[in-house]
Chains A and B, each alone.
Chain A
Amino acid sequence: MGAARRCNLPDLLSVDPRDMALRGHGLNLKREHYARVLDGGALHPVDWFEIVSENFFHPGGRPWAVLERLRQLRPVALHGTAMGLGNLHGVPADYLRRLKELIDRVEPTHVSDHLCFVGDAEEYTHELLPLPFTEAAARHVSDQISRVQDFLGCRIAVENVSAYLRFEADEFDEIDFLKAVAERADCHLLLDLNNLWVNGQNHGFDPVDQLARLPAERIIEFHLSGASFADGVWFDTHVGPVPNPVWQLYRHALAHVGPRPTLVEWDTDVPDYETAAAECARAARIERLREAA
């Protein structure tokens, strides 16, 4: 397992997370907000933006023009959905090459993807499919993360995913699995609080207890978003404002982990920029109240 080298991205395991270059509250960049982002109006209270890496694998055109402009206005983080760290055949070399080119061009604050698998050698499912929480899966995925980090020359963050199923083969619970992977790969964690809450609802555990067991020093970012309930199952749909239980979990996260760059995701029925940005403002207020307390 290779040690991740330092690059222009923050290597937070060697610094106090409170000294991170990236701070505050971000939004994921949506096509619906392109015109608003470009019109020169105030972007406050959004401190930074996150983009989906694969959407920019094909350079040029309007998306790139927006991104180039955005980089002049705010820091940008890269968040992938198709790296497939858990894929049996490994992360494709071509994918890594394209991601590296994107990193070199965008110079993001950090790079992240999901702790899941997304397909096989022939097919991208475009779903974040849960892995079994086994020793073999932990070993496989941590080896893949190390390979990715060696290739990119920096640490990446891996995000916990929502899951609507559990497996007979599970040998750990989700938190022990996350910890095992992060320690072996020496990587960061991106804690999606909505996913943690959704999994708690779907599988009958208390997300606050789970949160308290996570290694705070490895967590470099929080994600907040909305969820939907249908057919007896909670779904991570990124629809609507952040629900109150997830805000409550955010308060616990601030207490246990401390302030971290926090992203609001709103991908379904995307509202206008101001409405989405208001969620960032609320996250900032909660963080200030926590710090004041």
Chain B
Amino acid sequence: MELAAHQARWMAALRGESVQLDGWLRGPEPQRRLDLYRRSRQARLLGCLENEFPRVKALLGPVCFHAAACEYLQNHPPADPSLGQLGRIFPDHLLRCATNCADPNRAQVLRLAGELARLEWMWSEVFVAPDDPPVDASALRSVPANVWPSLRFRLVHCHRSASFEFDVASFELARPHILVAEGAVQILLWRRDFRVFVRRIDDVEADLLEAMGGGATLESACEHVAGSVETAASRLLEFVMGWFQDGLVAQVHRSGLETEPDD
């Protein structure tokens, strides 16, 4: 048998398809031994998803989680050499299942599961994102106040913010039966040293963060958010100082110059 046929049969067998064993395998109980590989692989991949999405598993329960994960693996076979990437589009899969589900109650649970999965995947992304030492507020204070409107910030690589359809940050792993509130919320995740932090942010802070993260000057970001610097200054300054305190700012740029952590 040619190598191509050998490998094609292996792949089909691992997918659970019926394959011709005569002329391929030898030794005792070939079908049973082939099934050992299939089951072992399935268990390994499911275990990986369970570790990655403990909140989703707690919400759905082990049986439903298993069914959803099996369907996901069937539709989205692993395409990355690292097992750590296995769950990358599991959130999208759950949300698509919710859209296609005819039962409104089940669809609602699947939507929440999908949103929880998004949060858990972002948590993982933030956890492995490149280290990026933050600067503290002295980087800002060292700049004359009249220059502040022209400042730009670079935010640390290890942060994410996104809008969710449920207040998924309030989901408690130990009490998964308490459903979280529905309604759009903005959530910010960031890592400092080895710890990932999660908190809700309001729409104004989310918009400001997005604008500053996109390279806008402090002045244009504030105008974008509030219409004018003056009307929102005190509130926006509070947000900005909070980012320095949380460790979200990696660099402060001023007219082509920048302030590094060591400055």
Binding site for B on A (CB under 8 A): 54-55, 57-65, 82-83, 87-88, 95, 98, 117, 119-120, 122-127, 129, 131-132, 134, 136-137, 140, 164-170, 203, 231-233, 235
Contacts and interface: CB of A to CB of B under 8 A. Distances in A.
A119 B158 CA distance: 32
A57 B82 contact: yes
10 contacts: A54-B81, A58-B84, A61-B129, A61-B191, A88-B7, A132-B3, A136-B2, A165-B37, A166-B25, A168-B24
A176 B81 CA distance: 29
Contacts of B6: 131-132, 137, 167, 169
Interface of B: 1-4, 6-8, 10-11, 14, 23-27, 29-30, 32-34, 36-37, 40-41, 44-45, 77-86, 127-131, 157-158, 191, 194
Contacts of B30: 165
A44 B158 CA distance: 34
A57 B85 CA distance: 11
Contacts of B85: 58
Contacts of B86: 126
A164 B36 contact: yes
A127 B36 contact: no
A137 B1 CA distance: 11
B26 A167 contact: yes
B82 A64 contact: no
B81 A164 contact: no
B131 A65 contact: yes
Nearest to B83: A126
Contacts of A98: 81
Contact of A203 (B27, B37, B45, B128): B27
Contact of A124 (B4, B79, B194): B79
Contact of B77 (A63, A123, A232, A233): A123
Contacts of B1: 132, 167-169
B4 A88 contact: yes
Given A124-B77, A125-B14, A165-B25, 6 more contacts: A58-B82, A59-B130, A60-B131, A64-B130, A65-B194, A233-B33
Nearest to B22: A168
B248 to A, nearest CB: 16
Contacts of A134: 3
B80 to A, nearest CB: 7
Return the 7 tightest CB-CB contacts between A and B, nearest first.
A60-B130, A82-B81, A61-B128, A123-B77, A54-B82, A54-B81, A124-B78
A122 B191 CA distance: 33
A120 B15 CA distance: 13
B82 to A, nearest CB: 4
A168 B25 contact: yes
Contacts of A55: 82-84
Contacts of A122: 77, 79
Contact of A60 (B29, B33, B129): B129
B10 to A, nearest CB: 5
A136 B6 CA distance: 12
A87 B188 CA distance: 42
B36 A123 contact: no
B82 A119 contact: no
Nearest to A230: B36
A62 B127 contact: yes
B117 to A, nearest CB: 19
B78 A123 contact: yes
A88 to B, nearest CB: 5
A237 to B, nearest CB: 9
Contacts of A140: 3
A92 B80 CA distance: 11
A82 B81 CA distance: 6
Contacts of A235: 36, 40
Given A124-B81, A126-B45, A129-B10, A61 B130 contact: yes
Nearest to A60: B130
Contacts of B40: 127, 235
A137 B128 contact: no
A167 B25 contact: yes
Nearest to A56: B82
A164 B158 contact: no
Contacts of A57: 81-82
A233 B4 CA distance: 27
B158 A129 contact: no
Contacts of B24: 167-169
Contact of A63 (B36, B37, B80, B128): B128
A65 B157 CA distance: 15
Which of B10, B36, B191 has the most chain A CB atoms closer than 10 A to its own CB? B10
Contacts of B26: 166-168, 170
A62 B25 contact: no
A164 B131 contact: no
A62 to B, nearest CB: 5
Nearest to B2: A136
